[in-house]
Structure 1
């Protein structure tokens, strides 16, 4: 090692700095150790140390983090506007800081999207076994990777690991170089004596704290600010009152058409787009579609184009991949109250027969019959039902906590009506879920994107 080089290594919760003494004396929070003639700083100062070294014209040999490889991660959750703002605020703050948001605002979803965005080894620290179990389930549902667990009788470390504060406290000096991102759920706990050592000993440069109540009566939130960062985004329950605090999350899942479905879809869709090219119609608004309908009265080509468009829509709406995805969702939510929406009556009956789910369509002969099914759903005799558009308006639908949309229009009104069916979590502090299953690389995907616009 030359006088103009620096070597960084991790040792028991600290970063050892091998460098000339005159350089060590310029680095913030680095203490000189005369026995080894090296410098040393707490693990949590690693990011600050790297930033300080960047100001010097020195070569840095960085051996602090011993990270395992992770594939690119992807979560099906979609963020609301304020959740986007919170995540952006954290990233703009150098991927350090605390989000203070009320219960029911979806802090966990924001954290999952942070993990997805960075796709780096991550440690999640939680205060209770119940939260340990919940996080493990969520992580397992969202990410197709092996998960570590520290707590509840298990001590298993993987690139993505969830731990109790107690277990993290016992092993922080040992594991401090294994993670690049650490997420502290209920981060105010980190201010407690002992637990604050978790934050000190970990070298993870990216740090995210989640809480509904950041400030502590004992003032220990100032310690949390030092270890994790300040509050970078804050909203109260009053700020989110009304539409914004509806206790549900949206998970968008894309499925592929089978080769046979793809061939049929492209054939039908091609007939429609060929007609558009020949007729000069660009489909920029609903009036363009109405023009094709008007022409179809005396133009065989227009009539054929409309029929082809309808058949292409049937292919993507009834895709086998959607049915298989629904099977997995129903299996995961065996204990929940589920409503499945489709656009086609035939698909309603197909799902009803396959999954033994009561069906409600406009073909159910009497209003009284539909009411009997809904009443049994309300009483819990049925835990799931499948329906077409008949439930969209004017029907008193019992509370559900999971809804699945297997196709429909891009109408914002229709989408919000269906969301309204899942705004009743099973218990306080939980959130309902709406799954939107989309056929990828189809017009359905584009329409859904426009609706989110």
Structure 2
């Protein structure tokens, strides 16, 4: 009899039917066994089932879970879950930050009743998911990452730990939930999806498509985007109404001279390089060339100097001072692109600061105080863009950032949780005139 079993990130097929061509199988040169990548398990089973072939499935040996949830799904959350179920439990749900993607995942876990692995990008998110799942299901939740390696029927893992453990535990889960699933398109993380046998797969994200096209890899490993809503679809009903206010500032004479000089050096090199900086691939080529081409290195350093000048213009600090004075009674998050600017702002305006250098306990204390109202404002560089449960805020200031639409959407999402008073959220976008930041701002606004 044909037997399917999980082994080291693959599905081994013993005694395959001689008259049936099974897809994705390759001969293992070491043992002679027929194997397929673990993520092809569902497809193999579909072929065998479709031919009424009797087989011994030792992969699907999971004990069912008897779970329930207290959550009442909103209409759009129910629609998202139903769309995923209609896709045979495979696919990506795209919802804005604050729209309750975790609730959809919990409903999917209950619906399937299978051992589940939840994969998340950061330790902060790992802790958040574990707390949420323990509170909802009143069971012990396993954890891979953050100093622990404990497997339970429901386990939460960071992407890094899942990458290290997938070939070992990939046959132990029937459902895998990828939070911030766009990370799965990364070169190394793709192996997580390939090494897991789980036939049911749910991806969660606020921004599915990647500029490098790697979302197509995600579709192959998790399934297509089965449901999508944008911020404007939910604003006013399930998310706060919002406004975006753009404030333009000018460089000082000294800053303008430094910016123009650096930008001219960069542009002069581009004229003879055949590179287009609107292309991420060409930017990577410039970085590679800078390793052995002095002119390329000079151009790259000049570009970085120009970018730092325009993003950290003194006039932005003056504008921020006015904004903070105007919003004394509001909860404000200030976003920047550079860690050193975070510390400058923290010192000048006495703002609690969170960067990638901030320890977990200190970060948690700052956010707890922000939540309870002891702090009414915080400044950060990228760290709060995703993967952190940020307490309710109603004002955001984007002092500087990239041209990424994903980054902008995530920052906007930090202030869109519904307000108890029904008030509107407000995002300020500070842009330096007559610099490439004007183009950057247009790109990130989509």
The answer to whether the Cα contact below 8 Å between 1:69 and 1:159 also exists between their aligned partners in 2 is no
Say whether 1:428 aligns with 2:414.
yes
Larger radius of gyration: 1
Secondary structure, aligned partner of 2:125:
helix
The residue number in structure 2 matching 1:90 is 84
**Residue pairs, 1:20-59, within 5 angstroms:** 20=16, 22-23=18-19, 26-33=21-28, 36-59=31-54
Tell me which residue corresponds to 1:6: 2
Residues 57-72 of structure 1: matches in 2 within 5 Å?
57-70=52-65, 72=66
Report the CA distance between 1:37 and its aligned residue: 4.6
Structure 2 residue 181 is the aligned partner of structure 1 residue 187 = yes
Residue-pair matches, total: 255
Asked if structure 2 preserves the Cα contact closer than 8 Å seen for 1:184 and 1:210, the reply is: yes
Match in the other structure for 1:118 = 112
Aligned counterparts of 1:433 and 1:161: Cα–Cα separation in 2? 33
In the alignment, the residues of structure 1 paired with residue 30 and residue 175 of structure 2 have an alpha-carbon distance, to the nearest angstrom, of: 33
SS in 2 for 1:171: helix
In the alignment, the residues of structure 2 paired with residue 205 and residue 429 of structure 1 have an alpha-carbon distance, to the nearest angstrom, of: 36
Instruction: Structure 2: state its 5+ residue gaps.
Output: 242-371, 375-390, 393-412, 421-446
Deviations 1:112-156 (A, max 9, x none): 111122221000000001101110110011002111011111111
CA distance in 2, matches of 1:110, 1:139: 13
State the partner residue of 2:159.
Answer: 165
**1:84 positional shift:** 0.4
Q: Which runs of 4+ in 1 moved over 6 A?
A: none
In structure 1, stretches of 5+ residues that fail to align are: 248-378, 382-399, 402-426, 435-453
SS at match of 2:231: coil
Instruction: Give the secondary structure class of the aligned counterpart of 2:5.
Output: strand
Q: Deviations over 1:277-325 (max 9, x none)?
A: xxxxxxxxxxxxxxxxxxxxxxxxxxxxxxxxxxxxxxxxxxxxxxxxx
Q: Secondary structure of the equivalent of 1:102?
A: coil
The yes-or-no answer on 1:132 pairing with 2:126 is yes
Following superposition, the deviation at residue 246 of structure 1 comes to 5.0
Structure 2 CA distance for aligned equivalents of residues 111 and 80 of structure 1: 13
Q: What SS is found at the alignment partner of 2:176?
A: strand
Deviation at 1:33, TM superposition (A): 4.0
Q: Distance in 1 between matches of 2:416 and 2:136?
A: 17
- Equivalence for 1:390: none
In the alignment, is the contact (CA less than 8 A) between 2:3 and 2:13 conserved in 1? yes
Q: How many angstroms apart in 1 are the aligned matches of 2:217 and 2:415?
A: 27
Alignment of 1:440-451 (within 5 A): none
Q: Distance in 1 between matches of 2:152 and 2:16?
A: 36
RMSD, aligned α-carbons: 2.6
Superposed CA offset, 1:367-402 (max 9, x none): xxxxxxxxxxxx969xxxxxxxxxxxxxxxxxx98x
Shift of 1:57: 3.8
Q: 1:62 to 1:245 in 2, by over 3 A?
A: same
* CA displacement, residues 413-437 of structure 1 (integer Å, 9 cap, x when unaligned): xxxxxxxxxxxxxx93695799xxx
Where 2:11 maps in the other structure, the secondary structure is strand
User: Residue in 2 aligned with 1:156?
Assistant: 150
